[in-house]
Amino acid sequence: MAGPRPDAVSRLRSVGKHALLIAASLVMIYPLVWMLVSSLRPTDVIFRTPGLWLNELYLDNYIEGWTALARPFDWYIVNSGIVVVGAVVGNLLSCSLAAYAFARLKFRLRTLWFAIMLMTIMLPFHVVIVPQYIVFNTFGMVNTFLPLVLPKFLATDAFFVFLMVQFIRGIPRELDEAARIDGCGHFRIFFRIIIPLMVPALATAAIFTFIWTWSDFFTSLIYLTAPDMYTVPLALRSFLDATSGSNWGAMFAMSIVSLVPLFLVFLFGQKYLIQGIATTGGK
């Protein structure tokens, strides 16, 4: 018989496929690994070593980077931490309340509000940023964390409202009906039945809020101009200015530090991330 047997062909094809995918994986990941390795090299070595081999662990970049700005780097991490915690709490609370109303309650104009909510998901942020800035400026809130946190307590991230509506719709109505017959009001049903059952949706929303808020640059750039209020992205950016973009060792070291929380979320929250994107199309 001429030619290889069919299973040999399919095995060959599978090997080829894996080879292609592994090559693609390497191309995708190489820059990140190279940044990690480079953060452990003196700056002059960074500029002539494209490889990943380390002769020694050069930790000076981390020490230098940590202390290069007006405050030690942990100061900016705490700032970012405050904003992230505020944003996560705000989003979970306000978005789940709105989602319960949309998913379970019948009230006047519900369809209209729901349609508006869906449209705000697609509204470009830049259309509202100028007047928002003017308002926060008038109330003296520029250079506080309020402009970054307050809107979250008012469910402005409509994407999460939608995500939670979808989830609550999947919870059997019999559960609320039973509680209602037992005399529970809406707030008791919401807190005692719906909230415990929607933990996966809350986790997804918390993880996305964490990622987006931690890496958010634009809002911080606009509202936080005092160096003491800088969040991590702003601190990284001021590195670039302070060293006129030449101290790559320290810059890479602090970049790695800034990516560690995201990477941890990625490792431990991957299930929720993948599900969240697959069901609603988040970033």
Tell the smallest beta-carbon distance from residue 56 to another protein (Å): 20
Question: In this complex, which beta carbon is closest to another protein, that of residue 144 or of residue 215?
Answer: 215
Tell the smallest beta-carbon distance from residue 28 to another protein (Å): 6
Question: In this complex, which beta carbon is closest to another protein, that of residue 53 or of residue 107?
Answer: 107
Please report, as a single letter, which amino acid is at residue 261: P
Question: In this complex, which beta carbon is closest to another protein, that of residue 121 or of residue 179?
Answer: 121
Residue 62 CA to residue 256 CA, distance in Å, equals 10
Question: In this complex, which beta carbon is closest to another protein, that of residue 47 or of residue 70?
Answer: 47
**Contact call for residues 113 and 119 (beta carbons, < 8 A):** no
C-alpha dihedral (108, 112, 117, 120), degrees to nearest 10: -150
DSSP string, 50-91: -S---SS---HHHHHHHTSSSS-HHHHHHHHHHHHHHHHHHH
- What tokens does 48 get? 């002539």
Residue 22 CA to residue 52 CA, distance in Å, equals 17
Question: In this complex, which beta carbon is closest to another protein, that of residue 32 or of residue 63?
Answer: 32
**Contact call for residues 225 and 142 (beta carbons, < 8 A):** yes
Tell the smallest beta-carbon distance from residue 181 to another protein (Å): 15
Question: In this complex, which beta carbon is closest to another protein, that of residue 34 or of residue 66?
Answer: 34
Please report, as a single letter, which amino acid is at residue 32: L
Backbone dihedral angles phi then psi of residue 51, each to the nearest 5 degrees: -80, 180
Tell the smallest beta-carbon distance from residue 246 to another protein (Å): 11
Tell the smallest beta-carbon distance from residue 257 to another protein (Å): 9
Radius of gyration from C-alpha coordinates of the chain: 24
222: nearest Cα among 142, 124, 108: 142
Tell the smallest beta-carbon distance from residue 60 to another protein (Å): 18
